[in-house]
Structure 1
């Protein structure tokens, strides 16, 4: 589970078991550009769907019986032995969580947060996140990772952004000012949540940029899984018992028309047209 992904702007409180990588200071990118390494293509892992067979990246698993430790169990290795992976795969880890890059990124920045609690990691997210104490812990760690992701978006796209111009100019000044302009709020450009039918067996929370611009986004299920109520924001938990998102198959979210996440334009079932449009939207979005 990993692929292109992010950078850092706020310190991450890592335990003594955490990989020895110095956290960035507040308001500045990390000295070691770990997220530049994270942008290299990584190995692929198929995915699953709670409503039935794998729904997102399962082409290699079709027609085969699920192995005891099959492709959908691929996240387990990162949870069990995060220290066995380089920094361009496992971003950080501590006693409770592992943060990795998604192997099939559906946006220009796509991370996964993996809880390590053995009593929760094999539960469906709707069940695991019904525990108030566990939910509070997951939300706190998700927001830490979101801050890192936002810093990476600024590193990647700040020089293009009109809202970030004053900040970029200040950073280039000699000497730079004591206080930097706040610039664009990149945290608003990060979405954090889970799928109503997770594509891997281990509990994971997606932390990703909103752009949905990636060569890995290849068909309707890929796009709609992140652009309809099939994607449940972490802030919406705990879910009410009668929340319709508990029944994604009945609601048919993955079969909805393609609707642009940014402008709302409906492309029906024209995926090629949507992809062209997403590229245009991405270029405009990063320049805001």
Structure 2
């Protein structure tokens, strides 16, 4: 017997006789019959009562119908469903997923990948340089041979919250980034850029210091490429200039659309069909 109900479960009825209230219909199922409850459109109530020779008083019938959308919580009258979670309904619906009661939204948020920089900047093994205002770490997924991040110890979530009083801090971040470039053993043959993503994926303001040969296995898709080679990448000096002139950083509308642009070489602007083709093309520009 199939009933349209609010959950996807298979109940094997054995010792108890249920009365199933489905919308305005009450159906009695005999012991030993299987009750399939599928779909998630309609509410239902299953009330289990022991099979006895004595008929139920009329008053009890009326009481049970007053709460048609609640299932009996009497532990003695529950049917075991420990093996029904593996049952797959033939309409293609996945089985219900178990949600542990102890699952904490706060713990999930704290470990969310977008908060990863706050963890990495505190890790001594990740730190390449630090002073009382900033710390420099390697990007975990570098998009070039040299890719560092300069982060302030001060908690600043994004470019949008920057104000004129942050000018000195951002200038210090730029000086530290330039010092990293000067100390790089390949600085004489590689070009570097220092800047910020208009809409960063990671929380906490961070300055990218990245070499421009883009020779890295972590550079895998169009989004990676365009985030560093279009106006989506805002030069450090331009960010400081905006703060000095306007007291805030203004991000233009439609920046996210820049990530969808065709793959173009950042040196000669020649369009390439795929990332592998682009990487092969870039070799001609690497001295």
**Alpha-carbon displacement from aligned partner over 1:117-162 (angstroms, at most 9, x marks no partner):** 13xx22x21332xx1231222122222222222331xx2364xx5x
Query: Contact conserved, 1:109 with 1:149, CA < 8 A, in 2?
Result: no
**Displacement of 1:265 after TM fit?**
1.2
The aligned counterpart of 1:132 is 164
Change (3 A) 1:247 1:135: farther
Give yes or no for the alignment of 1:279 onto 2:283: yes
The separation in 2 between residues aligned to 1:264 and 1:247, in whole angstroms, is 21
Give yes or no for the alignment of 1:71 onto 2:110: no
**Alpha-carbon displacement from aligned partner over 1:181-211 (angstroms, at most 9, x marks no partner):** xxxxx6xx22111111102112111011122
Q: Structure 1 stretches of 5 or more lacking a match?
A: 1-64, 162-185
- Structure (1 or 2) with the greater helix fraction: 1
State which structure, 1 or 2, has the greater radius of gyration over its C-alpha atoms.
2
Change (3 A) 1:236 1:246: farther
**Displacement of 1:95 after TM fit?**
2.1
Q: CA RMSD, aligned part only? A: 2.4
Runs ≥4 residues deviating over 6 A: none
Q: Structure 2 stretches of 5 or more lacking a match?
A: 1-104
Whose RCO is larger (CA < 8 A, sep 6+)? 1
1:114-153 correspondence runs (5 A):
114-118=151-155, 121-122=156-157, 124-128=158-162, 131-152=163-184
Secondary structure (helix, strand or coil) at the match of 1:95 reads coil
Change (3 A) 1:157 1:198: closer
Give yes or no for the alignment of 1:254 onto 2:286: no
Change (3 A) 1:76 1:217: same
**Displacement of 1:244 after TM fit?**
6.2
Aligned length: 176
The aligned counterpart of 1:62 is none
Query: Contact conserved, 2:152 with 2:173, CA < 8 A, in 1?
Result: no
**Alpha-carbon displacement from aligned partner over 1:235-279 (angstroms, at most 9, x marks no partner):** 112447896635413xx1001111111122122x43221111122
Query: Contact conserved, 2:160 with 2:249, CA < 8 A, in 1?
Result: no
Change (3 A) 1:242 1:146: closer
Query: Contact conserved, 1:91 with 1:99, CA < 8 A, in 2?
Result: yes
The aligned counterpart of 2:56 is none
The aligned counterpart of 2:193 is 191
Give me the TM-score of the superposition, normalised by structure 1. 0.55
